[in-house]
Amino acid sequence: MKKTFTIRNITSAAVLTALSIISTMVFKLIPMGELPFLRFSLTPSIIMFASLALGPFYGAVVGALGDFIPAMVAPTGTYNFFITIVYAILGVLPWIFEKITRKFRASLKPPFAVFITMGVILASLAATLFLTDFIGGQVFKGDSALITKFIILGIMILVGVACCVSVTLTNKKFERNVLEYADIPSPNETALISLLCEALVMTLLKSLAFFFFYFIFGNGYSPSFEYFFLMIFLGLPVNVTISSICVYWMLVFDHKQLHLRLENSKKDE
C-alpha cells in the first residue's frame, strides 16, 4: 500500500498549497465587471493534480487551504465557508474518477468522450445565451447585446476546439511513449476527469454554495440559483481547457521527476 504521510508527499502538498493560495489571490484581483462570480483560475488545476498525484487526503487539504487562507489574508468580502467545502470536494473527486476511468482506460483511447462532452457544454452555452433571459438581462442588455452574445459564443467555441485539438495531439504523443507514462492517466482520461470536475464541482456545487450562502447570510440580497449557475457556467469551456492541459503536464513532470530520483538512488547504491 502506498504510504500517505511521507516527507515527499507532505513537502509536495505544502508547495501545492502555497501555489494554490498565490493563484487564488492573483486571479481574485482580476476585475470581472458585470460578472462578479465568474472566475478563470489555475487553482482548480493545482487541486486536481494534488488529488491525482498525492491522493484524496492531500487533495482535500490543498483545496480547502487554497480557498480558506486567501479569504483570511486578503478578504474581498464576507467569508463563504461553503466555497471552502467545495474546494475540499474538488480535491477528492479526481482521485475517485481516476479509479473509475482506469477500468475503461482502453476504451478511452479515442477522444470521443472528450469531444462529446465539450460539444454538449458548448451547445448548452449557446442555448443559455440565446434561448434564455441570461441573469435576468442584467449582463447582456442594450443594442449590442446580441453582438456580445455572438462574440462570447465564438470565443468559447474556439477555446473548446483548441482544447479538443490539444488533447488529441498530446494523446498521440502519449501513445508513442505509453511505456514511459503507463502509470499516469492519458491526456484523454485527464481531460475527461477535468471536464467532470469542472462541470460538477466548480460549476454546479460552487453555484449551490453561493446560493445557500446568500440565501442564509445575504441580508436581503439573495439572487436565484440560476443567476450564479449561468454566470459561472459561462466560463466553463475556458476553465476546462486550462485544467485539461495543465493537470496532464503537471502529472508528466511529476512522473519524470520521480523517475529521475529512482534512477539516481539506484546509481548511488
Mean residue pLDDT of the chain comes to 85
- Report pLDDT digits (tens) over 109-159: 778 888 998 999 999 989 888 887 766 566 676 667 788 888 889 999 999
Q: Is the pLDDT of residue 179 over 50?
A: no
Kindly report the length of the chain: 269
Is 75 in a helix, a strand, or coil? coil
Own/partner pairs for 209-212, CB < 8 Å, 24+ apart? 209/80, 209/82, 209/83, 209/85, 209/86, 210/37, 210/80, 210/82, 210/83, 212/82
Sign of CA dihedral 141, 124, 67, 247: negative
Q: How far from the centroid of its chain's Cα atoms is residue 39's Cα?
A: 11
Q: Give domain status of residue 154, yes or no.
A: yes
Residues ≥6 apart with Cβ < 8 Å to 111: 164, 167, 168, 171, 188, 191
Q: Give domain status of residue 27, yes or no.
A: yes
Q: Residue 45: which pLDDT band, with cuts at 50, 70 and 90?
A: very high
Q: Give domain status of residue 25, yes or no.
A: yes
φ and ψ at residue 246, rounded to 5 degrees: -65, -45
213 against 3, higher pLDDT: 213
Q: Is the pLDDT of residue 43 over 70?
A: yes
Q: Give domain status of residue 2, yes or no.
A: no
Q: Residue 107: which pLDDT band, with cuts at 50, 70 and 90?
A: confident
DSSP secondary structure letter of residue 30: S
Q: Residue 1: which pLDDT band, with cuts at 50, 70 and 90?
A: very low
Start-to-end C-alpha separation, the chain: 24
Q: Give domain status of residue 39, yes or no.
A: yes
Which of 196, 224, 215, 230 has the alpha carbon at shortest distance from 95?
196
Q: Give domain status of residue 1, yes or no.
A: no
Q: Can you give the residue range of the structural domain that contains 198? A: 7-268
Number of domains in the chain: 1
DSSP secondary structure letter of residue 3: -
What proportions of the chain, in percent to the nearest 5, are helix, strand and coil?
75, 0, 25
Other Cβ atoms closer than 10 A to 27: 14
Quote the pTM value: 0.89
% of residues, the chain, pLDDT over 70: 87
Q: Give domain status of residue 223, yes or no.
A: yes
